[in-house]
Structure 1
Amino acid sequence: MKRIMKKIALTLCAALTLGLLSSCGDTSESSDNGAQLSGNEKSFVITLYSQYAPITCENFEELVKDGFYNGLTFHRVVEDFMAQGGDPNGDGTGGSEKTIKGEFSANGVDNKLSHTRGIVSMARSQAFDSASSQFFICYTDECTFLDGQYAAFGEVTEGMETVDSFLEIERTLGSDGAMSSPSEPITIVKAEMISDDADGNHRAEFFVTVGE
């Protein structure tokens, strides 16, 4: 299983993916970007750990506050591996206007946050400093082989069952060679910064609709 997951994970380097965030600077309210919540969304909360990846956290938080993620999708969902989203192109090839330094040991950064279930990390191309807006959420503790190669920066601390529900959507063969492309949209209706946790870590809440 680990060998198969490693092969699938190589596709994380095949397309430009996420550049993530949050120095977790200030916690001012996110701007009103016009996103309308219908009342039937599910949600999950990402807690940002700037002690491990300050550049990534800052970038991510800025994107959330700017409303960048509103209306985007989770375009790649792989059972026993991860769910990936945050691409304005919706196919793993896009990002925001800037890229950031990859905060992981292979790139000279001592990031001790391990890729276990619920951990949020940045996608990237083969270039170490290519992360932009795309991020992925780990489904299992077997994702630790990504440690040192990708910038883990946060964790889903509430609503992991929402992320699990992505797996209920039928998937077709994706460009990664896996059954990873959702046949119905998994849409981020709105993302916003919310209050810090008890330890002062900044948090973002993502409201999503799963399927039609």
Structure 2
Amino acid sequence: MKKNNVILLSIIGVLVVALAVVLVIFANRPKSDNSSTTQTEQTASQTTGSSSQKSQAELDKLDLPQLSSKVAEDEAEVKIQTSEGDIAIKLFPKIAPMAVENFLNLAKDGYYNNNKFFRVIKNFMIQSGDPTGQGTSSKSTVNNNQPFAVEASDKLYNIRGALSLANTGQPNSSSSQFFIVQNAQDATAQIQDPGKYPTKILDAYKQGGTPQLDGSYTVFGQVISGLEVVDKIASGEVKANPSSGEQSSPVNPVTITGVSVVKGWDFK
């Protein structure tokens, strides 16, 4: 009887150890089933770069280049030509240098030609920048041809019309995939801490945007004309993505026919 008890206790001990190992493995597995997929999450943690270190008065003194439709001397400009019309965008090379340099390099090389807007969510954003149209491929021409970190700034935000880089949610995963913020509804209710925002940006969010993405994705440009094209793309019929089940795969994807550099920038 004692021998049987010893055997039983030994078996229970082995099972407990095995269970503990399984739990450790589960706790440390990747959070995504496909870590190579570059996505723009609608529920990203909201941060605002270094703005939390500034007072409201200091924030209100910041230069906010997105709020002007003019292309300044220290800005670049591109035109995204699509099968539904053109989208003119100014870029901010001094604030997001890696993002802008990579985008301009790829535009000049024709990398974006014939890309589809493969992920479209009305009242959120439209996404492109992957020639495969699957969201699993990207390219970097900077940072030794490797994906790079988010370039967060308290001067740039995901207001309506913002051009931002998608990433996987992991460090150093920004590259060629980009999205344009389309939401035109008042987004101020999504702002967790208004004290971290310049007053003029809070006002801009009343016209739309996705503040929940601030700090988690690199904003590197702003649409200055062609928002009606962005809205048209976002309004297209979509179906479930076969991999994620998300209702975001366009039935008739809009194509980028080319990206022309209207005003470049010397990064030397």
What is the TM-score normalised by the length of structure 1?
0.70
Question: How does 1:34-53 map onto structure 2 within 5 Å?
Answer: 42-53=85-96
Structure 1 residues 142, 45: closer, same or farther in 2, change over 3 A?
closer
Q: Which runs of 4+ in 1 moved over 6 A?
A: 24-27
Task: Give the C-alpha shift of residue 190 in structure 1.
Answer: 1.1
Give the alignment partner of residue 237 of structure 2, picking from 158, 170, 177.
170
Runs (5+) with no aligned partner, structure 2: 1-31, 41-72, 184-207
Counting strand residues as a fraction of each chain, which structure ranks higher? 1
| Aligned residue identity for 1:118 | G
1:103-146 superposed Cα distances (whole Å, 9 cap, x missing partner): 334xxxx4531101000100111322111210000012341111
- Pick the aligned partner of 1:184 from 228, 241, 252: 252
Looking at structure 2, the residues matched to 64 and 51 of structure 1 have their Cα atoms a distance apart, in angstroms, of 18
Partner of 1:96: 139
Deviation at residue 16 of structure 1 after TM alignment: 2.8
Q: Distance in 1 between matches of 2:149 and 2:174?
A: 7
Selected match of 2:122 from 59, 79, 99: 79
CA distance in 2, matches of 1:63, 1:142: 26
User: Percent identity among equivalent residues?
Assistant: 35
**Structure 2 counterpart SS, 1:165:** helix
Offset at residue 153 of structure 1 (A) = 0.4
**Matched position secondary structure for 2:150:** coil
Distance 2:209 2:255 in 1: 26
Match of 1:114 among 149, 157, 165: 157
> Of 226, 232, 236, which residue of structure 2 is paired with 1:159?
226
Report what 2:60 is aligned to.
none
Cα deviation, 1:68-119, whole Å, max 9, x if unaligned, reads: 00011100000111000010110110112533422334xxxx4531101000
Cα RMSD (Å)? 3.2
**Taking structure 2 as the reference length, what is the TM-score of the superposition?**
0.56
Question: Which runs of structure 2 are paired with 1:132-147 in the superposition (5 Å)?
Answer: 132-140=175-183, 141-147=208-214
- Structure number with higher helix proportion: 2
Which residue pairs with 1:129 in the alignment?
A: 172
Query: For the residues of structure 1 that align with 2:36 and 2:245, how far apart are their CA atoms?
Result: 12
Match of 1:205 in 2: none
Indicate if the aligned counterparts of 1:17 and 1:95 stay in contact, CA closer than 8 A.
no
The structure that has the greater radius of gyration is 2
The size of the alignment, in residue pairs, is: 170
In structure 2, the partner of 1:15 is 37
Unpaired stretches in structure 1, ≥5 consecutive residues: 1-9, 19-23, 28-36, 203-212
